[in-house]
Amino acid sequence: MIHAPISEELFQRAQHSIPGGVNSPVRAFRAVGGNPRFMVSAKGPYMYDEDGNRYLDLINSWGPMILGHAAEVVNEAVIKAIPNSLSFGAPTRKEVEIAELIVSMMPSIEKVRMVNSGTEATMSAIRVARGFTGRDKIIKFEGCYHGHGDSFLISAGSGAITLGVPDSPGVTKGTANDTLTAPYNNLEAVQTLVDANKGQIAAIILEPVAGNMGLVTPAEGFLQGLRTLCDKEGIVLIFDEVMTGFRLSAGGAQQLYGVTPDMSTMGKIIGGGMPVGAYGGKKEIMEFVAPAGPVYQAGTLSGNPIAMAAGMAMLTYLKEHPEVYTQLEQTSGNMVAGMQRNLQKLGLNYTINRVGSMFSIFFTDKPVYDFESAKTSDTALFGRYFNGMLQRGVYLAPSQYEALFVSTAVTEELVEQYVQASFEALQEAVQQ
């Protein structure tokens, strides 16, 4: 049994001065029960908390630590950049170099603008798409997360053509009305929305592999179908690759599936652990961004030299080491194969979805291909499994509706530990 009294005390204290005790909601463990662990350090596959407990980390800061924690290539670049000042507010060589590198890696990107988070990237991308098309509405998919911008915090209406309803107080009806939603993997629903809003849709935005309702893969022909529809209707197709970019391949999901969107948004891995996001796409669209064009978007700390040093080191490494993706594919495949064996031994029939180094185990025996089917999962069971894993020193995403992110620091031995811990935690969780 792992005890964490110092974390518990810190969490109590945190609630007096921070809303809910955390700076981002999922960290609070509300979906799984129990107290969050306060981390002090991490190296390779392991994180260490305030109480000195060690965890095998399978979230990796929600993706960025694809090479494991405190990777030397990234840390050295940061340390080298620090003495030259933490910020200039003027252009630097590094920004030119990282832009060229991103253009060379991501198939859809001819020009790119650096920002400070994934949220900023998606907010800016839809503003540019609206400026470019002169249209107001956007289509997003139920269960896809695009950061906390107002336009994206919209759940499904009752029917496919009904207007969006805000998911969060503080999002105005006006904003919600401009966001239409469709079920993931449902091309017909998208076609219906487009027909009912002829000439009014600026952009269709989606996670090309969805990671924010648990891992959901695009059905055969879904991405290509959206591409064809957008071409026909003059709609800007935006792939939100904040999670999948530089993870599913060096060129993201767009390279893996061979479908090129008009614009892409990036984050997470792009900063190597520093707060960085980016959006980019076709020249003719990106030329609308100020000061080249009329769509305003700016940032005091955008292109920050320390963040660029970290991102540059990370992306350069990934570009020059394609074997990273072969290794991740193998490790993740072995983890899932081990889980399948566990399920079989325990007589359970749960659904596992995986693409490359992202995967989710859904506690349902139904196939999961959109948000409705994802919601058939037994989340109470997931909570017990999560806590069982935590007790065994394995740190999973604290929600059924998240993917796991595997890093290159996960060895075959650690795969075995994960599989064994999962067997025990699962057995316990189903018995309770």
Ligand X SMILES: *Cc1c(COP(=O)(O)O)cnc(C)c1O
Catalytic residue list = 145, 240, 268
Q: How many CB atoms lie within 10 A of CB 390?
A: 22
Residue environment code for 104-135, b if the CB has 16+ CB neighbours within 10 A, otherwise e: ebbebbebbbbbbbbbbbbbbbbbbbbbbbeb
Nearer to ligand X, 31 or 430 (CB): 31
Nearer to ligand X, 343 or 374 (CB): 374
Any contact of residue 243 with ligand X (CB under 6 A)?
yes
- Residues belonging to the chain: 432
> Which of 242, 263, 274, 308 touches ligand X (CB under 6 A)?
242
Among 15-23, 131-139, 168-176, 235-243, which window interacts with ligand X (CB under 6 A)? 235-243
Q: Which residues contact 31 (CB under 8 A, 6 or more apart)?
A: 379, 383, 398, 399, 400, 401
Cβ atoms of 296 and 81 closer than 8 Å: no
Kindly state the number of chain residues that form the binding site for ligand X, as judged by CB under 6 A.
Answer: 15
> Which of 131, 147, 251, 311 touches ligand X (CB under 6 A)?
147
Nearer to ligand X, 142 or 240 (CB): 240
Nearer to ligand X, 53 or 297 (CB): 297
Nearer to ligand X, 44 or 252 (CB): 252
Any contact of residue 262 with ligand X (CB under 6 A)?
no
Nearer to ligand X, 273 or 388 (CB): 273
Any contact of residue 146 with ligand X (CB under 6 A)?
yes
The 8-class DSSP code of residue 240 comes to E
Of 180-209, which residues contact ligand X (CB under 6 A)? Answer: 207
Q: In whole angstroms, how close is the CB of 275 to ligand X at the nearest point?
A: 7
Among 238-246, 255-263, 303-311, 339-347, which window interacts with ligand X (CB under 6 A)? 238-246
Nearest-angstrom CA–CA distance, 145 and 21:
23
Provide DSSP, 37-89.
Answer: PPEEEEEBTEEEETT--EEEESSTTTTT-TT-BT-HHHHHHHHHHGGG-S--S
Cβ-based burial of 409 (10 A; exposed 0-12, middle 13-18, buried ≥19): buried
Nearest-angstrom CA–CA distance, 383 and 425:
11
Of 205-224, which residues contact ligand X (CB under 6 A)? Answer: 207, 211-212
Lay out the sheet containing 179-182: strands in order across: 111-115, 277-281, 263-266, 236-240, 201-206, 137-141, 179-182
The answer to whether the Cα torsion of 164, 232, 243, 295 is positive or negative is negative
Nearest-angstrom CA–CA distance, 285 and 306:
29
Cβ-proximal residue to ligand X, closest one: 118
* Upper half-sphere CA count for residue 261 (Cβ side, 13 Å): 32
Q: In whole angstroms, how close is the CB of 267 to ligand X at the nearest point?
A: 4
Q: In whole angstroms, how close is the CB of 247 to ligand X at the nearest point?
A: 10
> Which of 44, 45, 64, 118 touches ligand X (CB under 6 A)?
118
Any contact of residue 143 with ligand X (CB under 6 A)?
no
Any contact of residue 239 with ligand X (CB under 6 A)?
no
Q: In whole angstroms, how close is the CB of 52 to ligand X at the nearest point?
A: 29
Among 116-124, 179-187, 222-230, 231-239, which window interacts with ligand X (CB under 6 A)? 116-124
Q: In whole angstroms, how close is the CB of 119 to ligand X at the nearest point?
A: 3
Q: In whole angstroms, how close is the CB of 165 to ligand X at the nearest point?
A: 21
Provide DSSP, 325-382.
Answer: HHHHHHHHHHHHHHHHHHHHHTT---EEEEETTEEEEESSSS---SHHHHTTS-HHHH
Cβ atoms of 280 and 325 closer than 8 Å: no
Any contact of residue 364 with ligand X (CB under 6 A)?
no
Any contact of residue 122 with ligand X (CB under 6 A)?
yes
> Which of 29, 145, 246, 418 touches ligand X (CB under 6 A)?
145
Among 117-125, 179-187, 370-378, 406-414, which window interacts with ligand X (CB under 6 A)? 117-125
What does DSSP say about strands 404-405 and 358-362: parallel, antiparallel, or unpaired? antiparallel
> Which of 7, 53, 61, 117 touches ligand X (CB under 6 A)?
117
- As a whole number of Å, the end-to-end CA separation of the chain is 17
Nearer to ligand X, 141 or 363 (CB): 141
Which residues sit at the interface with ligand X, rule CB under 6 A?
117-119, 122, 145-147, 207, 211-212, 240, 242-243, 267, 277
